[in-house]
Structure 1
Amino acid sequence: MYNFLPYAYFQNKFVPFAEATLSIATHALHYGTGAFGGLRGIPDPQDSTQILLFRLDRHCQRLSQSAKFLHYNLPPEKIQEIIVDFVKKNQPNTSFYIRPFIFTSDLGIAPRLHNIEKSFAIYGLELGDYLSPEGVSCRISSWCRQEDVSFPLRGKISGAYITSSLAKTEAVESGFDEAILMNSQGKVSEASGMNIFIVRNGKIITPGFEHDILEGITRDSVLTIAQDLGIPIQERAVDKSELLIADEVFLSGTAAKVVPVKRIENYYLPEHRPITEKLREKLIAITENREPNYRDWVFPISI
C-alpha cells in the first residue's frame, strides 16, 4: 500500500490527490501514448527547512525530450518550476518519489499524436528502498528489450513498459526478484526498470546506448562517480556468460539507487562487493548533500 503525497498537479492546478482522476476513454490509457519521469527527494538531514531533489535539471531535461516524441513542447524550465511548486505544496517529511507524467488526454479511439490534446500531471509518494539493499536475485527474461528502430528508446515512453511488466512478473512468479533483458542481438541490455553493471578485475563494464538501453540518469551518475574515484569504466557489449562469472553485478535507477545482485539464475555471485558498496555509499552521501564536489547535483527547496 502506497502513501501518496496529499496534492497532485492536474489540469494546470494543484488538487487533492484523490481528485486527480481520468475518464476510462482517455487516449493514453489505451495506447501508451505518454512519457514519464521519476525523481527522488529527501528532507535535508542537515537543515529541517529544506527539501533536497537529486539532479532535478537532468530529470526535467529528459522529460522535455521525451515529450518531443509525443509532439508536445514542454520546456524543461516549465517542468522544473511546477515540480518545485509541487514540493512546496506537499512539504513531504520523509523520503519520497515524484512522478511527472505527460500524456494524450483526449477521449478518442484513433491512435495518433497529431491534432490531439496533451496534458501534464505530477503526483508523488513516500518511498524508501525500492529493492533490498542487501541484494537481489535475477533471472534472464524470455522477453527481449525493444529496438530503437521500432520504438523511441531515448525517451521514457510509457508504452515501452509492457515489456518491463512482462519481464518483472515472469521473474517474480518464477522465484526471483528482478529480470534481466537481452537485446535482439542476444547481448545484455538492462533490467526491468534499471540499468545494469558488472565488475570484472576491478573494472566497471556496462552496456552502451547502442544496446537499446534507457539513458539512465543514475547510470550517468554512477559512471561519473566511478571516473572521479579512479575506477576504470568501459561501455560495451556484455554477454550473458559474463554475468555469471562477474566479480560483482549491480543495478542502478532512480527508485532502486544502487542495488547489488547476489544471484543470476542458479549462479551465486561473490558476497564481497567493494566497488558496488563504495558507489552506493558515495551516491547516498551525494543525495544527502554531504559531498561538496557534487553540490550542483542537489537542488535545495526551502519549505
Structure 2
Amino acid sequence: MSDFLPYAYFQGQFVPFSEAKLSVATHALHYGTAALGGLRGLPNPKNTNEILLFRLEDHCRRLSRSAHYLGYDLPPTQIKSLMIDWVRQNAPQIPFYIRPLVYTSGLGIAPRLHNVDKDFLIYGLPLGDYLSPQGVSCRISSWQRQSDRSFPLRGKFTASYLVSALAKTEAVASGFDEAILLNDQGKISEATGMNIFLVRNQQLITPSVDQDILEGITRNSVLQLAQVEGFQVIERPVDHTELLIADEVFLTGTAARIVPVARLEQYALPAPGKMTQYLQQQLQAITEDRHPDYHHWIDKIPLTKS
C-alpha cells in the first residue's frame, strides 16, 4: 500500500488507506455509476508546511455537477471542505494527486440511479510526470469517442473511461504512448484522458465543446493564459489531417499538465514551439504560486494551525 497516501476519506470518516474497502456487490462496481475528479497538489516550494492546490474550487464544482447527473446532491463547498481536511490528514511532502469519487454505494443488481444509496470518498497518491514532458507518440484510435446524445459528456464518469482504456491499450500494444479519439463525425475529439491543442499560422486551435470533449480544467487554463498573452485562440471542429501539418501539437490534462506530441502515427511532428513552451512555463509558475496574476487559482492549505 506504500504507493498511496496513508489516509482515505471513506464512509464519512478518515481511515487508513488499507481499511477503505468496498463490497464486491457495490452497485457502482457493476454499472459504472460513479463520477470522479482529480487534481494535483504539491508542497509550497517557499514553505514546505503549506500545500498548494491548483483550481480546487473549479474541480469541486465539476464533481458536484457530475454528482447531479447521478441524482446525488453534493455541494461544491462540502467537497472542498473534505478535500482540505484530507490534505491535512495526509500532510504530503512530495507532489501528489487527489482522487475524489462519487459513487452508488448500495448493494444490488439493478441498473438504476433511483432508490440506491450514494456516497463520496477521497484517496491520493504521489505523482510526478504522467507522460514524458519531452513529447509522446500518438495514433488515431479505432475506437470512437462517445456522443453526447448517448452519454452525459459534461460530467466526468467512470463508465466513460472504458473507451479510453481500450484506446490506450490499443495504442501501447501497437507501439505508441497515447491514443487520439475521433467523434462520430470523424473529427478530432480528445486523447484518452486529455484535451488536444494545435498551433497553425500562429493560431492556437482546439476542438470546441460541441465535439464531444470533456470540458477540461487544464484546457480552460490554457485558453485563458493564451488569451491574456494575446494569442489568437480558436475553438472549432478539427480534422485529423490538420494535426499532420500543424506547427505544434500538445495535450493537456490535470495529470499530464501540458505534453507535446512528437509523432502522430508515422509522421514526425515539429519540436515543441514557442507557444507550447510558453504555456508550459506559465502553468508551472502558476501551480507553484510564482505568477502574481494567478494567485486566485491557488488554494494554500497550512498543515499546522498558526
The answer, yes or no, to whether TM exceeds 0.5 is yes
Distance 1:69 1:292, change over 3 A: same
* SS of residue matched to 1:49: strand
Distance in structure 2 (CA, Å) of the matches to 1:170 and 1:99:
25
Conserved in 1, the CA contact under 8 Å of 2:260 and 2:272? no
Task: Find the counterpart in structure 2 of residue 138 from structure 1.
Answer: 138
Structure 1 gaps, min length 5: none
Residue 271 of structure 1, CA deviation: 1.5
Deviation string for 1:195-232 (max 9, x for gaps)? 00000011100001100000100000000001111111
Distance in structure 2 (CA, Å) of the matches to 1:198 and 1:55:
24
Counterpart of 1:141, as a letter, is S
Distance in structure 2 (CA, Å) of the matches to 1:249 and 1:96:
26
TM-score (norm 1): 0.99
* SS of residue matched to 2:48: coil
* SS of residue matched to 1:121: strand
Task: Find the counterpart in structure 1 of residue 9 from structure 2.
Answer: 9
* SS of residue matched to 1:290: coil
Distance 1:170 1:234, change over 3 A: same
Task: Find the counterpart in structure 1 of residue 198 from structure 2.
Answer: 198
Distance in structure 1 (CA, Å) of the matches to 2:247 and 2:25:
50
Distance 1:175 1:109, change over 3 A: same
Distance in structure 2 (CA, Å) of the matches to 1:18 and 1:62:
28
After TM superposition, the structure 1 = structure 2 runs for residues 136-175 of structure 1, keeping only pairs within 5 Å, are 136-175=136-175
* SS of residue matched to 1:60: helix
Distance in structure 2 (CA, Å) of the matches to 1:146 and 1:134:
30
Deviation string for 1:214-271 (max 9, x for gaps)? 0100000000001111111000000000011100000000000000000000000011
Conserved in 2, the CA contact under 8 Å of 1:2 and 1:126? no
- Matched residue pairs, number? 303
Structure 2 gaps, min length 5: none
Conserved in 1, the CA contact under 8 Å of 2:48 and 2:93? no
Distance in structure 2 (CA, Å) of the matches to 1:65 and 1:106:
21
Residue 2 of structure 1, CA deviation: 7.0
After TM superposition, the structure 1 = structure 2 runs for residues 139-288 of structure 1, keeping only pairs within 5 Å, are 139-288=139-288
Counterpart of 2:57, as a letter, is D
Task: Find the counterpart in structure 2 of residue 298 from structure 1.
Answer: 298
Distance in structure 1 (CA, Å) of the matches to 2:238 and 2:192:
17
Deviation string for 1:41-62 (max 9, x for gaps)? 0000011221000000000000
Between 1:267-276 and 1:25-34, the stretch displaced more is: 267-276
Distance in structure 2 (CA, Å) of the matches to 1:62 and 1:120:
14
Residue 179 of structure 1, CA deviation: 0.3
Which 4+ residue blocks in structure 1 deviate beyond 3 angstroms? none
Task: Find the counterpart in structure 2 of residue 64 from structure 1.
Answer: 64
Conserved in 2, the CA contact under 8 Å of 1:2 and 1:125? no
Task: Find the counterpart in structure 2 of residue 128 from structure 1.
Answer: 128
Task: Find the counterpart in structure 1 of residue 76 from structure 2.
Answer: 76
- Pairing 1:92–2:97 present: no
TM-score (norm 2): 0.98
Residue 272 of structure 1, CA deviation: 4.4
